[in-house]
Structure 1
Amino acid sequence: MHQHAHPCRCGKSHRQPQPLCSIRSIKPVTMKISAAQPVTPDSDCGCCDSDSGSPGGESDAESDRPALTSHQFRWQIAGMDCPSCARKIETAVQRVPQVQQARVIFASEKLVVDADHDIRATIEQVVKNAGFTLSASDSPSPPQPESRWQENAGLLLLGGLMLASWLLSQFSPLWGDRLFIATTLVGLAPIARSAWKLLRSGSPFSIEMLMTIAAAGALVIGAHAEAAMVLLLFQLGERLEAYAAARARRGVTALMALRPDTATRINDTQRENVRLEVLQPGDVIEVAAGGRLPADGELLHASASFDESALTGESLPVAREPGEQIMAGATSLDRLVTLKVISQPGQSAIDRILQLIEEAEIHRAPVERFIDRFSRIYTPAIMLLALLVMVLPPLLGFGEWLPWIYKGLTLLLIGCPCALVISTPAAITSGLAAAARQGALIKGGAALERLSRVSMMAFDKTGTLTAGKPQINHIQPFGAMAEDNLLSIAAAVEQGSTHPLARAIVSEAERRALTIPQAAQQQTLAGSGIRAAIAGVTYQLLTPREVSHLDDAQQQQIAELEAQGQTVVLLLQEQQVLGALALQDQLRSEAIRALAELQKLGVNSVMLTGDNPRAAAAIAAELNINYRAGLLPADKVEAVRTLGAQQALAMVGDGINDAPAMKAATIGIAMGSGTDVALEAADVALTQNQLAILPRTLVLARRTRAIIRQNVALALGLKAIFLVTTLLGFTGLWLAVLADSGATALVTANALRLLRQR
Structure 2
Amino acid sequence: MEFRVNGMDCPSCAATIEKGLQKTKGIQSVRVNYGTGKMAVGADDRSVYDLIPSQVRKLGFEAEPMENNKNMQTYKIEGMDCGSCAMTIEKHLSKNPSVQAVKVNFSTGKMQIDHSTNQKEIIKEVQRAGFDASLDSVRNRETSADNKKKGASTTTISGIFLALGFIGSFTGVTSGLITALYAAAIVIGGYKPARSAFYAIKSGSLDMNVLMASAAIGAALIGEWFEGATVVWLFALGNTLQNRSIERTRDSIRSLMNITPSEATVKKGYQLIRKPVEEVEINDIIVIKPGEKLPLDGEILSGASSINQAPITGESLPVDKQEGDTVYAGTVNESGSLEVKVTKLVEDTTIAKIIHLVEEAQEKKAPTQAFVDRFASVYTPIVFILALLVMVAPPLLGFGTWGEWLYKGLALLVVACPCALVISTPVAIVSAIGNAAKNGVLIKGGTFLEKAGAIQAIAFDKTGTLTEGKPKVAEVISLQNNREELISITRTIEEHSTHPIAQAITTYAEERSIPAMEGEAFKAIAGKGAQATINGVEYFAGNPKLFHEMEVPFHELEERMASLQDNGNTLVVVGTQAEVLGLIAVADTIRDITVQSIQKLKQVGMREMVMLTGDNEGTAKKIAGETGVDRYFAELLPEDKVSAVKKLQAEGKRVAMVGDGINDAPALATADLGIAMGGAGTDTAMETADIVLMADNLEKLPHTIRLSRKALDIIKQNIWFSLITKLAALVLIFPGILTLWMAVLSDTGAALIVILNSMRLLKKK
Sort the TM-score into its range (normalised by shorter chain).
0.7 to 0.9
1:224 aligns with 2:225: yes
Shift of 1:686: 0.9
CA 289–676 in structure 1, closer or farther in 2 if over 3 Å, else same:
closer
Distance 1:500 1:93, change over 3 A: farther
Secondary structure at 1:692's aligned position in 2?
coil
Q: Which residue of 1 aligns with 2:144?
A: 145
Which residue of 2 is the match for residue 654 of structure 1? 660
Decide whether aligned partners of structure 1 residues 383 and 636 sit closer, same or farther in structure 2, where only a CA change above 3 A counts. Answer: same
Of 690, 708, 722, the residue aligned with 2:729 is 722
Check the 8 A contact 1:50/1:65 in 2, yes or no: no
Does the alignment pair 1:599 with 2:602?
Answer: yes
Q: Which amino acid aligns with 2:570?
A: T
CA contact (8 A) 1:107 1:252 kept: no
Structure 2 equivalent of residue 639 of structure 1: 644
Task: Report Cα offsets for 1:402-439 as digits up to 9, x if no partner.
Answer: 22211110111122222222211111111111111222
* Contact map agreement 2:80 2:109 (CA 8 A) in 1: no
- Which sections of structure 2, spanning at least 5 residues, go unmatched? 7-29, 39-55
8 Å contact kept, 2:472–2:588: yes
Query: Structure 2 CA distance, aligned partners of 1:488 and 1:679?
Result: 38
Name the residue aligned to 2:552. 550
**Aligned counterparts of 2:587 and 2:94: Cα–Cα separation in 1:** 59
Matched-pair contact (CA < 8 Å) for 2:36–2:688: no
TM-aligned CA deviation for residue 520 of structure 1: 5.1
- Decide whether aligned partners of structure 1 residues 213 and 431 sit closer, same or farther in structure 2, where only a CA change above 3 A counts: same
Q: Deviations over 1:199-219 (max 9, x none)?
A: 22232x111110111111111
Q: 1:119 to 1:581 in 2, by over 3 A?
A: farther
Contact 2:216/2:232 (<8 A) preserved: yes
What residue number does 1:289 align with? 290
Give the C-alpha shift of residue 486 in structure 1: 2.3
What is the alpha-carbon distance in structure 1 between the residues aligned to residue 127 and residue 748 of structure 2? 26
C-alpha change, 1:60 and 1:533, in structure 2 (3 Å) is farther
2:447 alignment partner AA: A
Q: Which moved more, 1:141-150 or 1:724-733?
A: 141-150
Q: 1:620 aligns with which of 624, 633, 658?
A: 624
Query: 1:108–1:358: 8 Å Cα contact kept in structure 2?
Result: yes
Q: 1:521 to 1:371 in 2, by over 3 A?
A: farther
Task: Output aligned runs, 1:703-714, within 5 Å.
Answer: 703-714=710-721
Q: Deviations over 1:713-751 (max 9, x none)?
A: 222221111111122211111111122111121111111
Q: Secondary structure of 2:320's match?
A: strand
SS at match of 1:346: helix
Alignment gaps of 5+ in structure 1? 5-11, 19-45
In the TM superposition, what is the alpha-carbon distance from 1:443 to its structure 2 partner? 0.9
Q: 2:63 aligns with which of 61, 66, 78?
A: 66
Does the 8 Å CA contact 1:129/1:201 hold for their aligned counterparts?
no
- Distance in structure 1 (CA, Å) of the matches to 2:352 and 2:527: 36
Partner of 1:670: 676
How far is the alpha carbon of 1:376 from its aligned partner? 1.5
Contact conserved, 1:641 with 1:664, CA < 8 A, in 2?
yes
Shift of 1:500: 1.3
Deviation readout 1:630-655 (Å, 9 max, x if unpaired): 11122211110120231111111126
Structure 1 counterpart SS, 2:411:
helix
Q: Which has the higher contact order (CA 8 A, sep 6+)?
A: 1
- 1:83·1:425 contact (CA, 8 Å) conserved in 2? no
Using the TM superposition, name which of 212-221 and 469-478 deviates more. Answer: 469-478
Cα distance per residue 1:283-325 (max 9 Å; x no partner): 2222333221111233343322222223322222332223222
Q: Residues 13, 231 of structure 1: CA spacing in aligned structure 2 closer, same or farther, 3 A cutoff? A: closer
The equivalences for 1:149-228 within 5 A come to 149-169=149-169, 170=171, 171-203=173-205, 205-228=206-229
Structure 2 CA distance, aligned partners of 1:399 and 1:343?
74
Amino acid at match of 2:410: L
* Secondary structure at the counterpart of residue 323 of structure 1: coil
Number of residue pairs matched? 710
Counterpart amino acid of residue 164 in structure 2? A
Q: Tell whether the 8 Å contact from 2:361 to 2:444 is kept in structure 1 after alignment.
A: yes
In the alignment, the residues of structure 2 paired with residue 708 and residue 559 of structure 1 have an alpha-carbon distance, to the nearest angstrom, of 53
Q: Answer whether contact 1:131 1:194 (CA < 8 A) is retained.
A: yes
Bigger mean CA offset, 254-263 vs 469-478: 469-478
Report the alpha carbon displacement of residue 95 of structure 1 after superposing the two structures with TM. Answer: 6.0
* Range with bigger deviation, 154-163 or 60-69: 60-69
Aligned-pair identity (%): 37
Within a 5 Å distance, the mapping from 1:26-425 to structure 2 comes to: 51-52=35-36, 64-66=61-63, 68=65, 71-72=68-69, 73-84=72-83, 85-93=85-93, 102-113=102-113, 127=126, 129-137=128-136, 144-145=143-144, 147=146, 149-169=149-169, 170=171, 171-203=173-205, 205-425=206-426
Compare 364-373 and 292-301 and name the one that shifted more.
Answer: 292-301
CA contact (8 A) 2:369 2:426 kept: yes
Q: 1 CA distance for matches of 2:413 and 2:79?
A: 22
Distance 2:385 2:655 in 1: 45
In 2, the alpha carbon distance for the partners of 1:248 and 1:508 equals 51
In 2, Cα distance between the equivalents of 1:105 and 1:695?
30
Aligned AA (1:647): K
- Alpha-carbon spacing, 1:334–1:63, altered in 2? closer, same or farther (3 Å): farther
Structure 1 position 139, deviation (Å)? 10
Q: 1:590 pairs with 587, 590, 593, which one? A: 593
More divergent stretch after superposition (489-498 vs 229-238)? 489-498
**Counterpart residue type for residue 633 of structure 1:** P
* Alpha-carbon distance in structure 1 between the residues aligned to 2:139 and 2:187: 40
Change (3 A) 1:289 1:194: same
From 562, 570, 573, give the equivalent of 1:570: 573
Give TM-score scaled by structure 1 length.
Answer: 0.87
Using the alignment, how far apart are the partners of 1:119 and 1:633 within structure 2? Answer: 54
Distance 1:245 1:468, change over 3 A: same
Specify the alignment match of 1:511 in structure 2.
Answer: 511
Distance, in Å, in 2 between the alignment partners of 1:138 and 1:537 is: 66
CA contact (8 A) 2:130 2:192 kept: no
Q: How far off its partner does 1:138 sit? A: 7.2
Q: Residue 149 of structure 1: CA displacement?
A: 4.3
The structure-2 alpha-carbon separation of the partners of 1:513 and 1:712, relative to structure 1 and needing over 3 Å to count, comes to same
Tell me the amino acid that sits aligned with residue 751 of structure 1.
Answer: S
The corresponding residue for 2:541 is 541
Give the C-alpha shift of residue 83 in structure 1.
Answer: 4.0
Deviation at 1:146, TM superposition (A): 5.3
- Name the SS of the counterpart of 1:399 in structure 2: coil
C-alpha contact (below 8 Å) 1:50/1:63 kept by paired residues: no
Provide TM-score, normalisation by structure 2.
0.86
1:31 aligns to what?
none
Q: Post-superposition shift, 1:367?
A: 0.4
Give the whole-Å Cα distance in 1 for the aligned partners of 2:479 and 2:93. 73
Show CA shifts across 1:440-481 (max 9, x none).
11111111110111111111111111111111112233446x
What letter matches 1:442 in structure 2?
I
- 1:42-89 alpha-carbon deviations (Å, 9 max, x no partner): xxxx997864589xxxx9999845275552213213324334222333
Q: 1:489 is matched with which residue?
A: 489
